Amino acid sequence: MPIGDLAPELAVLLTAVAVLLLAMVLPQRRHGWCALLAAAGLALSMAFAWAQSDAHRLTFSGTFALDGATTWARFAIPGLTLLCVGLAPRWFATDRRHGEFYAMLLFSTLGAMAMAGAADLMQLVMGVLLSSVTGYVLAAYHRDWAISLEAGMKYFLVGALANALLVIGVVFVMGMAGSTDYRDLAGAIPDNPVALAGLTLVLMGLFFKLGAVPAHTWVPDVAEGAPAPAAAFLTVIPKLAAAVALYRLVALTPETQALPLLVALVAAATMTVGNLCALWQDDVRRLVGWSSISQTGYALMAVAVAGAVPDALPALLAFMSVYGIANLLAFAAIVELRGRTAIADYRGLIRKHPGPAIALTLAFLSFVGIPPLAGFLGKFALFVATLEAGLAWLVVVAVANTILSLFYYLRVIGPAVFSRPEGAMATLGGTARATFWALFALLLATTFLWSPVWSALPRALLP
């Protein structure tokens, strides 16, 4: 059990503890220093991940996988969390628990990293639970605001049920197969109703982290009610980890046709429900929440063909990377506008604040998949992989949903660009503005540098 193999995770853990201790001794006006410490710890974690990027083995008695997908997660999860940290200092400037926010953020990041590298069902459970418990706190962090408390409670209730089902599923699988180790489970899970029910329950727990049907109802409430930096984090980071974890699990059982079919049906239902419910939303944050559900549906297309086509894994990772950047950019624009999210408030936004207006437009068009944006390239990779696996019906559903989604994005973009402005709208500035422009540049860079990004993505998992 070489401790050095978990250097990126340990960097996040020790930084979280240090941030918590620092927040206890600093006066509230100095809690911004906790953000600097958190950012340094996340950067150190990414440096350790770079040093281990060539690793391709199982470690800690086979419970943790060091492979290309884990390396991607070790860059994407801390990297995007670092950007979430940049959104927080001015948002929480008057909050007495400002410093503790970064500790919770880091502990949740650690849970996501543990989930992404899990090569054992018990390790997966620990990662999911750590990510979930800290997520409940982040969702209800504005405890004096009823909407935030409601978001945290809904997240907790759905999560409690989903995580209980996850643990029950692990018990079923272990009882039928005699092991929780992925190496032992690969090709050895009995083809009987109890084992299949166990796998389905495990998938249900991961569907909750992804915000997929039927465990999706927490997403719009958290997107609207959680502090905007926390909402940005919770609608992106756990999804990145759960996507990798779900792919690993489905790839274990290529001979079990019921599992990929179940994922394909959930993918179709998730993208359809997300888009239909987003159509008439009047709050931009809820709209982005429902949109993130639909984006999960597209990502599940790659999971449904896991192991069936060579480009399924890179298509999933590429799509999730672009989705994460675009979703954070949308929330960064909202943070820069000090949390104003009523669609009516966005009328004429491009004349008052062209930066946030252009950023929202760019993020939304990337969600739709308008060429030549990186969102189009990510969706195209998903569609090609799904077609190669023979699931043409799922591609047809996805294309129809893509066209449908354009309607509700235009409900925001249209008034923001073509209507006359009504009243003034203040901006936040500070590190939030710097983060906003960094995400803007990152989304454009991903578009122009798509070819090297695509070439660098892993093609296979550890057996």
Sign of CA dihedral 230, 269, 68, 440: negative
Calculate mean pLDDT across residues 306-325: 92
Residue type, 269: A
Distances from the Cα of 41 to the Cα of 235, 346, 369, 398, 400, angstroms: 22, 36, 34, 39, 43
The closest of 198, 41, 57, 21 to 125, measured between CA atoms, is: 198
Q: Which residue has the tokens 């936004």?
A: 349
What's the pLDDT band for 292 if we cut at 50, 70, 90? very high
The confidence score (pLDDT) of residue 165 equals 95
To the nearest whole number, what is the mean pLDDT of the chain? 91
Kindly indicate the confidence band of residue 276, based on its pLDDT and cuts at 50, 70 and 90. very high
pLDDT digits 0-9 by tens, 9-65: 999 999 999 999 999 998 888 888 999 999 999 999 999 999 999 988 999 988 999
Q: What is the pTM of this model?
A: 0.95
**Weakest mean pLDDT among 178-182, 211-215, 295-299, 406-410:** 178-182
The per-residue pLDDT for 97 is 85
The percent of residues in the chain predicted with pLDDT above 90, rounded, is 70
Q: How confident is the model at residue 188 (pLDDT cuts 50, 70, 90)?
A: confident
Residue 438, burial from CB neighbour count under 10 angstroms (0-12, 13-18, 19+): middle
Q: State the CB neighbour count (10 A cutoff) for residue 4.
A: 10
pLDDT value of position 257:
66
Residue 276, number of CB atoms within 10 A of its CB: 15
pLDDT at 254 over 70: no
Mean pLDDT score, 182-201: 84
pLDDT (mean) for 352-371 = 92
Structure confidence by residue, pLDDT tens digits, 407-425: 999 999 998 888 887 766 7
Q: Is the pLDDT of residue 463 over 70?
A: no
CB 92 within 8 A of CB 101: yes
Of 64 and 461, the one with more pLDDT:
64
Tell me the pairing of strands 57-59 and 64-66: antiparallel
Give me the pLDDT at residue 256, please: 61
pLDDT tens figures, 106-133: 999 999 999 999 999 999 999 999 999 9
Q: pLDDT tier at 2 (50, 70, 90 boundaries)?
A: confident
Q: Which tokens in the block code for residue 106?
A: 């880091």
Per-residue pLDDT band for 160 (boundaries 50, 70, 90) equals: very high
pLDDT on residue 120: 93
Give me the pLDDT at residue 255, please. 56
The residue assigned the tokens 């086979």 is 62
CB 173 within 8 A of CB 120: no
